Every structure is written in C-alpha cells, then in structure tokens.
Structure 1
C-alpha cells in the first residue's frame, strides 16, 4: 500500500525537528539559563568562564571555553542525575565514582581519594603544615589584640567517626590521618584555639547515630555534641554564657530522601532514611535584615549570609563556615545575643568572594566578641593562604 506523500513528509519533518531539538537544546538552555558555580550532583565547583584578558592565544581560550561548556551545557545536572539513578535502580551499582557503598546502607564520599586518609596516604607537605599553623596563630594574635576570642572548629569526616561500615579494604592498616599528623606538628606556643571534636563524637557514637547514612554531614545529635564543645571553649573566656542543656527533638522523625550522597548516585527517590527533627518551638532567636554597611561588604548571595538576634543573651558572634555548620545555627543563635553567619568555605567561588581583606573589613564594622571558623576535615587545605604555584598539592 502506497504511503500518503503528505504524511511521509510530515513524519520526516517531525524526525528532523526532534533531532535538531535534541541537538540544539543543550546550547539553547545554556544561553537562557542562569549560570551556576557549584554542582550539587557532583559536589564540586564548576569551571568558570575564561577571562579573555588573561589568555595568551586563541587555542588557550578555546580549550578553556570547552572545559567551561562541558560543565555548563543545558540539562547537564538532570542528565547526570538520570544516569546515576538508572545505574543504581536498574543494575544496583553506584553510577558515580565519588560515592562508595559501605555496609548496612552507609554511603561515603570518596572524591579526591579522601577515604585513603584512613591509611595515611593523604598528607600535607611539611611546608603546608608550617603555613597552616602560622596562619592560624596569626589569626589568633590579630583577633586577640582586638579583644576578640577565636575558635577554629574542625568537623570530622564521616569515615573518621564511622570507619567500621566501610568496605574491608579501607579498614585494613589504619594509620594516622592528615589531621593527626597536622596536630603532631603544632608549635609549642599558639594554635590552642583549634577545636578537635573527634574524640567526643567517637565516645558518644555507640549511644546514638551521629551522622546520616545517605549524606556526608552529621545529624542533629552529632551537631549538638559539636555545639557543646564550642560552648565549653567559649565559656573559658566568657563564663557568663548559658549553653543549652540538651537537645529537643520532635516525636516523629522525618522521611529523608535528599541526602547529598544519595542524590549524587541517583538514589533520591529510592534511598531513604529517617531524620531526627529539631524542635525549635521554644526558640526565640529571630533573623534580621543586614545593615546597609554590612551588605556592602558581603553583597553576594553565594555567601548565604544570615544575621540573627536574641534579645536576652549577651555577646556578638561572627561565624565563617561550610555546610557542616548549618545544622548548628539554631543552637548558636539561641545562645548568643547576635550572630552573623557567612558561608565562606562552601567552595572556591565563596572563598574568593570572602578573602582575608573582606574579613578584616567585616570585623572592623561588626566588632564581634567571638569569631568561629569551621571547616570539615577533608577540606582543611581551604584554610591555607595562597602558596606559590607548584608547591600546592591537590588534596
């Protein structure tokens, strides 16, 4: 039977249109969508648009632009998520090399070879150790001269507290970690304001779960233990501070399906766990709008600035942090009169936006009584000031 030529042409046209749509949609969406700096699926900073004035040739620009486009083409995040989800759902495997599946449903981040930290294979160079402690001690001295207390909190890696759920080959031949060896190089004088909470969490982990199985972060219980350590350290200088006595959780835990590791491996709809929910019904700290002067110093929304006030508490606190501190914010805001949070250590972009000069300007304006800096153990290199290119290690 002869096919209608009009129908045949329409089918051909439709096929061509679909092909062109599939071919052009990544480029079109790249042009119209808002540019992003960070991939939630891959947990990494994306390539920025190349600066033309810093490039030496057309070929250099094209290579840089190619790297940029590979990180920013339309539908990229969705396509990666779908691939990871189907690999996990159809074949029962992780579709991403940066997630390791442990025992009993525990997932671990493995990017940057960080799991080998347990075997002592990831280390700071001797120069980096010296630079780290020098920078920390200089920070202490500068703030002390201004009458400001200083706390540098290290949030432990998940595998540091729960190595027992990792595959066996990660648990064999455990050796001192990068943080252990960094602490071993602490100078005799200075650096006392570094707060290491690993032993506190390791003592308490048999009583209750402190980290999420499907996420890199500590849960409300783990965060509260870190909060207690911060408050004990603060009370050495300010004994009048009143810390919260215990944690109050809602009777029903929430169903959690958006753990960052679950999202990375495409299991947002299939990997679930119960999340303890903090009861803040009695909390009275309130968010406040930034003053114009403060907003002028830290204008970028990437820094995710939050300013809270609690009228019946003393002291003013400045917190520079990464994502691990987010769950501590209700505790801290409820314990101090005024708290200003700045997400300084989320990624390279936020660190460029909030550098040491910015910190000095903000301290001069805000005049805090306490400055708290927090960094997760695996990203301690982010505290290092710039080191000559060639000496920097990719840790």
Structure 2
C-alpha cells in the first residue's frame, strides 16, 4: 500500500513539475514580447522628442543613418513570426517603423522646407541629440535581434525537451507511449504505425490490397526490367523484405488483428506466376524468428541476421548456396557500443524515449566482412554508389543492390559472397548507374510497406 502511495505521489510531482515548466515557457514568451515592445516604444519616443523643440516641427534630418540601415536577413523562425505583407517581426518594431515614416513624411513636406533655419546653439543641441538618437536606435536594434535569436533558440529546444518530458512522464506514469507513430508491444518491442511512410498497420491487418490493374502494371514493369538486365548479360531479382510487424506479430498489441496473408504476399505470388524473379523470405523468417532476433526491438529495420536470411533466399534463385543461419556463429554486443552503427533506434527516438530503451543488441556473423559504416553513411548521404571489395569471396562476381533503408543490413552477407558489392538508395538512383557499373547481378530490394513503389523499376534501365 505504501509503495503504491509513493508511486502516486511521484506521478503527481511529475505532473506538477510539467505544469510549472509549461507556465515558465508561457511567462518567458510574455516577458520577451513585453520587453521588446517597451524598449522599442521607449526609444522611438525618445528619438521623436530628442529632435524637436517646443512648438517646432521635425527637421529633415530627424532620422539618423542607423535607423535606415538595412536589417539582416531573417532566420526561418523569424520569418515564421512575421505578419504577412509586413517586413517587421513584431508590434514594437512596427510602431518604431511607423514613427520613422512619420518623421520622413514631415521632413519632406513643404512646411519643413520653408522653416526658418535654427540658431547655432539649436544646431549644436540637435547634433548632440542626433548622436544620442543614433546610439539609442542602434542599441534598440541590437536588443531586438538578441531577443529574436533567444526566442528562436528557445522555441526549438523547448519543443524538443517538452515533448520528451511529456513522453517520459506518460511512460513512467501510466506505462504508455504517447507517440502517434510508435506502438508499444509486449516484451518491450516497438512497432511503426505510420500512415505517411507506407502503412505497416494496414499491411498487418490486411485492410489494403492491390487491384488487378495495379498488379498487372507492376508485373509488366518487373518483366521489362528483367528483360533489360538479360540483354546486358546481368541476372536480375526482386527481394521483398517483410515488415517487422509481419514477423514478430505475436508481440503486437492484442487490439490489432493479424492477417496471415497480406497484399504483398499476394503480389509476390502473382508476379512469380507471371515469370518475375521475386522472393520474399517471410516463411523462412517466421520459422527462425523465435530462435534468433532478426529485427531490432527499438528500430523499424531488420538487423544483420534478418538481412542474412534475405540474402540467402535471393541468392538461391541464382543457385548460389549459403549456410543456414543456424549453422553460423553469431557475435552479439550492445548497439550503442558500436562506433558507427547503421541504425540508431529510430522508433525509440520517434517516441522520445531514447534515454529509456538503451539495451539494443547488435549482431554480427563470424566470417562476414565488417563494414566501414562511417564511410558508407557518408557516401550514401552524398548520393554516391558505395563499393565494398572482398578478394577472398567465393564468387568472383559483382552485384549491384538498389533498395531502401533495409539494404544496409544485407551488406555483410553480400560482401562475404561477392568480390565486388555496389549499393545505393533507390531515392537517389539515376537511370544509367547500373550501366556505369555493369554488374553481374542486380537486386532490387523493397520493404513490404513500400511494395506499392515497385513501378519505380521502370527507372532502373530507362
């Protein structure tokens, strides 16, 4: 009973802390706007008063050069705060600008031109006032810019830390994940529930499907790509990597209904019947997934063990044999201990809980080359073709892998089998790249949730 009471008190303390933090943010915004308005108004009034004698109109040089100096280009955050059609960022600055325009209008009027020349003593006082005006205006503008920079910085970091504060309090308080893109499954498995980056939940529940026209269109393009590869003396195959939800379905929340056959399963079957060389390792992965961890718990991708099964299945279509995963020796270590990992627990990051889920495992199969992930990530980021070379590989051939983010975990197994491995992300692939490399084998990889993007096969050979 006492333990439950202490837990309840901790939860209330967390909520109160959150409210105080939110109030602090709100107070800061009000303070920033108020100070900006006050200072700008204050200096504008001083500027106006400093150049006027009692009963006199403003002289033509009432505005100093510092007031009319062009302001620096606004940052993205500053632009977001700008009223449409008005280049001034806030009400205080608009007031200041209005006063300046008023002074200019007065200075240019006929009355100002006809005004009697001021006495020498008045001119001396006006010059002093102008110097004071220039200093005050410059100070005002500097403070305005400083406040805007602080506001921009605060808005970015406040959103980041507040979202993580909310995620942590929700997770520790009620044991739930507050993210709209991440599902908490059993045994600390996280799953992707996006609808803007494919739709893995629709795939899982079988609520989506391909029409006959869509299936025929994809089959036509796949056969065309296959024929183009054959003309060039290349062997071609499509690999469909299953969604994480499809393999570890028993760890999904129980309120989601599992459809054993998905639209992608039907697509693979139909394309295979039409003569397309296409493979899905789903059956083999389901048979192995309880013996070996094939996907990351806190990331949406398969790991090197899952990638190994995918490579083994796709190479079998070309009569290239590989030992089963059960016959390989596997080394396990902490993902965060790796110097340059190829994944970074994307689901934990999306949920704002990267500080909670920190025990992710990374697996490496003995005998597979160790990839220089730092160089690989740098090359892929620049849109370049990465090249791995292994003179000791049993197949003195080259393979070109064009795929999505699932392609990376396949590289160790491919590098073990081929002397030359070339790889690039499908989104930056340019027609003709395959002809530049002219490999012996071509693999087009698609994760299940991207199976509707297979019409992009038309871009492989132009």
Structure 2 length-normalised TM: 0.58
Q: Does 1:121 align with 2:207?
A: yes
Q: Does 1:372 align with 2:443?
A: yes
Q: Report the Cα distance in structure 2 between the residues aligned to 1:110 and 1:181, rounded to whole angstroms.
A: 22
Match among 413, 434, 453 for residue 382 of structure 1: 453
Q: Is the 8 A contact 2:243 2:448 kept in 1?
A: yes
Q: Which residue of 2 aligns with 1:150?
A: 236
Q: Does 1:213 align with 2:297?
A: yes
Q: Which residue of 2 aligns with 1:190?
A: 275
Q: Does 1:323 align with 2:323?
A: no
Cα shift at 1:89: 0.4
Q: Which residue of 1 aligns with 2:308?
A: 224
Cα shift at 1:169: 2.1
Q: Does 1:97 align with 2:180?
A: yes
- For residues 226-264 of structure 1, give each alpha carbon's deviation from its aligned partner in whole angstroms, at most 9, with x where no partner exists: 222133223x2xx5x777985444364445894111000
Match among 189, 201, 213 for residue 285 of structure 2: 201
Greater per-residue helix proportion: 2
Q: Report the Cα distance in structure 2 between the residues aligned to 1:19 and 1:134, rounded to whole angstroms.
A: 69
For structure 1, the 5+ residue unaligned runs are 1-11, 31-72, 291-298, 345-349, 388-395
CA RMSD of aligned residues (A): 3.8
Match among 320, 331, 349 for residue 250 of structure 1: 331
Instruction: Give aligned pairs, total.
Output: 306
Q: Which residue of 1 aligns with 2:359?
A: 273
SS at match of 2:331: coil
Cα shift at 1:159: 0.8
Match among 370, 382, 387 for residue 307 of structure 1: 387
Cα shift at 1:312: 3.4
- For residues 110-164 of structure 1, give each alpha carbon's deviation from its aligned partner in whole angstroms, at most 9, with x where no partner exists: 1114313233211123221111111111111111122211121111001111111
Cα shift at 1:224: 1.8
Cα shift at 1:365: 2.2
Q: Report the Cα distance in structure 1 between the residues aligned to 2:261 and 2:313, rounded to whole angstroms.
A: 23
Q: Report the Cα distance in structure 2 between the residues aligned to 1:277 and 1:19, rounded to whole angstroms.
A: 61
Q: Which residue of 1 aligns with 2:166?
A: 87
Change (3 A) 1:340 1:77: farther
Q: Is the 8 A contact 1:29 1:75 kept in 2?
A: no
Q: Report the Cα distance in structure 2 between the residues aligned to 1:226 and 1:167, rounded to whole angstroms.
A: 26
Match among 422, 438, 442 for residue 340 of structure 1: 422
- For residues 250-280 of structure 1, give each alpha carbon's deviation from its aligned partner in whole angstroms, at most 9, with x where no partner exists: 3644458941110001011112233133267
Q: Report the Cα distance in structure 1 between the residues aligned to 2:265 and 2:257, rounded to whole angstroms.
A: 17
Question: For structure 1, which segment, 223-232 or 104-113, has the greater mean C-alpha deviation from structure 2 after superposition?
Answer: 223-232
Structure 1 length-normalised TM: 0.66
Cα shift at 1:283: 3.2
Q: Report the Cα distance in structure 1 between the residues aligned to 2:284 and 2:457, rounded to whole angstroms.
A: 32
SS at match of 1:171: coil
Higher Rg of the two aligned structures: 2
SS at match of 1:229: helix
Change (3 A) 1:79 1:107: farther
For structure 2, the 5+ residue unaligned runs are 1-30, 40-73, 81-151, 338-342
